Structure 1
């Protein structure tokens, strides 16, 4: 595994949440292909993300990947993959968000899976909503349900329930 990376447009933050959602839904497949080809990222690397509100900043660390994170119910059935994330509020404003939908796992074919806040044998899940005062931190798992044949390739995380402009990316290869 290699070092984490940070992607973002670098310019001023503009647009409404609906505009970001539309932009994200249109660009997600292209972004997935580009990021998978970039070969950057890795477990243990901390990536700093800026939020849309003044003083909003979060350091996110992918600390562990557990695959499988639970037994499949039948041969060929979906399996669970869990990623442990450490979130630290390094900004000056409080952070409150839902980390599971902010996390995505991409497989080697470019398919994108959204995180779930569900229990797993890997360890405690991040709560459905995480609220951190400046300097606060939380650690827990986000779970993904993947088809049996899917091979995890990368993990992504963005603020604002996954709609933020800054995206952390960790390659799993």
Structure 2
């Protein structure tokens, strides 16, 4: 009986883990872009003949994300991307045949509820083959890691690097982030190459 209960709990845990970052909505349209604004004399644009496709978010862009609870809203900015991140100390290294990639995120609580999360749990990267990789626990030389215990009051922010261990041959093309450790119904996606 005890083995059956333990097996059922392990199976349920694996199913919950497998559903992370699979929200109902994936948005790659930036709500704010990190690009510089055009000078005043260049503001007027030519009329377009056809509607254009929305720009994909990239490094420097902000995506407004919602959590599962009312009042949980975060402006997520992919501040920096490093496709070949160096370990933060002499004891940390990627496994044989792998390398570290890292993303620096700034998460600003724009809602009315506190943002309490482990942001790295809701992050993953994808390569050109469609392989997806979850974050890993590692320090990189780029700077401080994202906290695993963010507790951010409304109006405040958290900044840090999220690290992924990927095969050396993988060309990472996108990074995704969802609130609530990946269980929110909305996921932000940025192009990184």
Alignment TM class, shorter chain as reference:
0.7 to 0.9
Question: Which of 101, 119, 141 is matched with 2:161 structurally?
Answer: 141
Once residues 143 and 163 of structure 1 are traced to their aligned partners in structure 2, the CA distance between those partners, rounded to angstroms, is 19
Per-residue deviation at 1:52?
Answer: 1.1
Once residues 120 and 148 of structure 1 are traced to their aligned partners in structure 2, the CA distance between those partners, rounded to angstroms, is 17
Question: Which of 149, 157, 161 is matched with 2:177 structurally?
Answer: 157
Does structure 2 retain, via aligned residues, the 8 Å contact 1:76–1:148?
no
Does structure 2 retain, via aligned residues, the 8 Å contact 1:93–1:133?
yes
| Cα root mean square deviation, aligned | 3.1
Per-residue deviation at 1:23?
Answer: 8.7
Does structure 1 retain, via aligned residues, the 8 Å contact 2:98–2:166?
yes
Give unmatched runs, 5+ long, in structure 1: 1-17
| CA 24–123 in structure 1, closer or farther in 2 if over 3 Å, else same | same
Give unmatched runs, 5+ long, in structure 2: 1-12, 29-53
Kindly provide the CA deviation profile for residues 124-165 of structure 1, in whole angstroms up to 9, marking residues without a partner as x: 101111110000101110000001101110000001101111
Name the TM-score, length of structure 2 as normaliser: 0.68
Name the TM-score, length of structure 1 as normaliser: 0.75
Residue 53, structure 1, aligned to residue 94, structure 2: no
Runs of 4 or more, structure 1, over 3 Å off, are 20-25, 71-76
* Larger Rg, first or second structure (1 or 2): 2
Query: How many aligned residue pairs are there?
Result: 149
Once residues 18 and 123 of structure 2 are traced to their aligned partners in structure 1, the CA distance between those partners, rounded to angstroms, is 17
Kindly provide the CA deviation profile for residues 103-138 of structure 1, in whole angstroms up to 9, marking residues without a partner as x: 111111111111124211111101111110000101
